[in-house]
Amino acid sequence: MAESIIITGSNRKEKYTSLVPQLRALFAGEKELIANMSNTCAALKDTFGFLWVGFYIVTGNELVVGPYQGPMACTRIQKGKGVCGTAWEKKQVLIVKDVNAFPGHISCSALSKSEIVVPLIKNNEVFALLDIDSEKLNDFDSTDKWYLEMIASILSA
């Protein structure tokens, strides 16, 4: 059965406010994490038009690309390396206004200008990361952080 998300609102906060309850309802009927990650990517990409939306999954001592939508991705990232590896190591959300100014940034696409990475945490351990790249500089703020942390929390439950 095909699922659909209907977004209302004109600004980012209104769109998140419309999206989050629909994702929550969708996840309530599906316990497979990969399926929920996949639908999250589709919903965020369709709603906001970001360049790249995806997940990296902790596998041993590295991150491995999981479900995503957008251009080709880096397949593996080491802990502490790049934006994703740093967010994993610090167990915190990272908002990068200009990826070219981030020390050690790993460029998977030259089109990426800004990025937000949100850890998914269970039992105080990061098990995956939600990574979103934008073609615009300084495209992410506290509104994105708030709602993406909420989505990560729902996925982590």
Give the domain ranges of the chain: 12-156
**For the domain bounded by 12-156, which CATH number is listed?**
3.30.450.40
Tell whether the model's pLDDT for residue 2 goes beyond 70.
no
Q: How confident is the model at residue 29 (pLDDT cuts 50, 70, 90)?
A: confident
pLDDT tens-place string over residues 65-122: 999 999 999 999 999 999 999 999 999 999 999 999 998 777 777 789 999 999 999 9
Q: How far apart are CA 39 and CA 23, in angstroms?
A: 8
Q: How far apart are CA 137 and CA 149, in angstroms?
A: 21
Average pLDDT for residues 8-36, to the nearest whole number?
Answer: 95
